[in-house]
Each structure stands twice: as C-alpha cells, then as structure tokens.
Amino acid sequence: MAQAAKLCRPGVIAAYPITPQTHIVENLSQFIADGELDAKSVNVESEHSAASCVLGSQAAGVRSFTCSSSQGLILMSEVLFCIAGMRLPVMLVCANRALSAPINIWNDQQDSIAVRDAGWIQLYAENNQEAVDLIIASHKIAEDPKVMLPAMVCVDGFILTHGMEVVDIPEQKDVDEFLPPYNPPYKLDPKNPMSFGLLGTPDVYLETRYAIQKTLGDVLKMIPTVGKEYQDKFGRDSLRLIEEYKTDDAETILIAMGSVCGTIKDVVDSQRKQGKKVGLLKIVSYRPFPKQAIKKALDSAKNIGVIDKDISLGSDGALYSEVKSVISSDKKISGFIAGLGGRDIKAKTVEEIINLSEKEENSCRFIDLNKNILWEEFKTI
C-alpha cells in the first residue's frame, strides 16, 4: 500500500501511528529518507492534526496522503467532514480496526462505517492486489475537476495489512501515464486570494450538501469508466461498483465487503459442487452506494444473506439496512453480524449463514464462529 501511494507521487504525507496502519506511513517515510520519493513527511501530534495537515496541503494544491485506523479515524472525523465540504481530493487508507471500548486492536469495519456520511468516496478491498489498484485508480476519480472529493480505500486490518501475498506493483512510468500530475481548478494562492470553508448560512448550506450528493451520483457513472481505463492499462478490473461471483443462476446470494469475500468464494465453490445454487455479491463501492447495480444483481435471487462486520447499535448492520432499502419486498433478506473485534469468519460459519438465509427471514442475527450462538440465545445472558 505504501508502494502504491508512492507511485501516485504525493507531495505531503501526514499520519499518526496507530495499529495496524503504522507501517504504511513508516515505509513512505523511508522512501522519502532514501530519496525515492520527493515529498514532505510531517510528524504530527495526533490524527486530528494529520487530517488537518493534509487538508491544508491539498488546499494549497499539493497531492496529499494520510492513513489511520479505529480511534484515530474517529479522532479525524471532524476534519474528514471539512475536507469533503471544501471539495479537497485527499487520499486516505483506512486499515479497518474495531472501536473501543473495550480496547480491541483487531479487525472489523466499524470505524469506516462510522464516517460513511462524511462525503468521502469509500472503496473496500478484498485482497492486497485490490488495495494497490484501488489506491491508484481512485486518485483519478477523486481529482477529476468534475468531482474534487476525497477518497478512502478500506483494507481489513491484520488480515490484509499484515498478510503476505504476491502482488503486482505497477511501473512508475505506467502510473504516470494513467494518473496525470495534480492540477486543481482552485487552490490557496496569494496571487489569487480565495477562502475555503467559510460560514454557510441557511440560504446556501443546503446547496453544498446537494452538490456533494449530486457529485457522488456522478461518481457512480465514473467508476466503471475509470475502472475500464485501469483494466486496459494494467490488466485488472479491481475498480468497480460491485463484483458478481456466480450469481447468474444463484437462488441464494450472500452480500459482503472486504477480505471475507475470499472465504465466501471458497464456500460458494464447494457448495456448487454439492449442487446448491449459491453466489456472492461483493460490494466494492460503499460510497457512493450502487443501488441500481445491486438491485439488478439480485434480480433472480430467492434468498439474500448480508454479512456485516459492523453493527449500527440500536438498529441493524449498516450494509444490511441499505441493501434492504433497495430490493423489492417479495425477496427474503436476512442480516448477519459477524467478525466483530477480529473474530474469524470461517467456512463453516459462512455455510451456516447460507442455511439460515434459506430459512426464516431475520434482520440482525449475531453469529459466533465456534459455537454458532445466535441472537436469540444471547438475549438470555
């Protein structure tokens, strides 16, 4: 991920160390120290300061990069809203990690889900190759003069950040051809004074939200187009709205985001050998949310199971709630909360989710990996 960010030639990098993202920015700092990257690495006192730093550098017309996790991302949240509101295409890698309390350094997706309404593009990687590709490709969308919105590439902490796998790192000359130098349509410049983030009175504030909403709608159309450009250049179609895995004739379709999709694909393959028509719908673009693409992909499904590595406490899983709002009322859809705090989601758990999806409908069922304890049993504790 650090190598992917380096290939995009950021001019300013600022981040505060927090597990499990620390070694991303450490590697970038090493690249700068070794003379491999012409950039300024800024040591800051907190994640709030890191976000503020890249806000300022991006506003001054410099491509900027940061990364964070968990409590760090939440500490950034005030500034994340400001970055989007000022239409600054900062790049952030979120190494997804559970939120405190209790303190937990392992993976779930609660942190990025908690800032889903900040106005950032949010893309979720299944593996490290996709992480590399999404970092590079999303720059081109975020920095388009018609977009000018920040982008967040989300990768499952430890599962991906500390995992070892073979990854194809593109050549610098090819990335330079794909991603032009950052040349924003507006920036802070003493020769052409302007201000960012001024007071928005009631007669203009609504329009600012409308503008971001409309732009994110345009991004839905741009992702497949830029994704095709990336595929033509590098041979991989990592940038897309969704991925359909054996869904054409599937009667039961599971929906998920991130690294768990690799496990689900293995289960789908094994279940297919047993004659069960199951498939996976992987969500890559969570913001903007591809409603029409999801609705079309689920057209033939009889049973839908949504796996959330988050919980909107007092309601349901965030992904489940949004998928349910899209599909027709005649389809059976169930939501499953799994993998919180780094608990493994193994093949047998996915198999159990498939079985439960084919039975009665539910909205928020907690799945325990080893004991398959369900929500109804938790209520007695």
> 3-class DSSP state for residue 140?
helix
| Final residue in a domain of this structure, among 208, 234, 260 | 234
What pTM does this model have? 0.96
* Residues 70 and 154 both lie in one domain: yes
> Looking at the 3D structure of the chain, how many domains does it have?
2
Within 13 Å, how many C-alpha atoms sit on residue 85's CB side?
Answer: 20
Q: Around Cβ 201, how many Cβ atoms within 10 Å?
A: 7
> Residue 249 belongs to a domain with what CATH number?
3.40.50.920
In a domain, 240, yes or no: no
In a domain, 291, yes or no: yes
* Residues 296 and 149 both lie in one domain: no
Kindly report the backbone phi and psi dihedral angles of residue 380, in degrees, each rounded to the nearest multiple of 5, phi listed first.
-85, -10
Residue 185 buriedness (CB in 10 A; 0-12 / 13-18 / 19+):
exposed
Average pLDDT of span 18-32: 97
Q: Give tens-digit pLDDT for 174-229.
A: 999 999 999 999 999 999 999 999 999 999 999 999 999 999 999 999 999 999 99
Average pLDDT of span 67-92: 98
Domain encompassing residue 166: 2-234
363 falls in which pLDDT band (50, 70, 90)?
A: confident
* Residues 21 and 124 both lie in one domain: yes
* Residues 192 and 79 both lie in one domain: yes
Mean pLDDT of the chain: 95
* Residues 186 and 249 both lie in one domain: no
Q: Give tens-digit pLDDT for 89-144.
A: 999 999 999 999 999 999 999 999 999 999 999 999 999 999 999 999 999 999 99
* Residues 350 and 306 both lie in one domain: yes
Sign of CA dihedral 182, 46, 107, 6: positive
* Residues 20 and 144 both lie in one domain: yes
CA dihedral 118, 123, 129, 135 (to 10 degrees): -50
> Residue 143 belongs to a domain with what CATH number?
3.40.50.970
Q: Percent of the chain at pLDDT above 90?
A: 94
Quote the pLDDT of residue 380: 52
In a domain, 12, yes or no: yes
Q: Give tens-digit pLDDT for 40-72.
A: 999 999 999 999 999 999 999 999 999 999 999
* Residues 311 and 275 both lie in one domain: yes
Q: Where are the alpha helices (DSSP H) in 43-182?
A: 47-59, 70-85, 110-114, 128-142, 172-178
328 falls in which pLDDT band (50, 70, 90)?
A: confident
Quote the pLDDT of residue 329: 83
Q: Give tens-digit pLDDT for 227-245.
A: 999 999 999 999 999 999 9
* Residues 91 and 222 both lie in one domain: yes
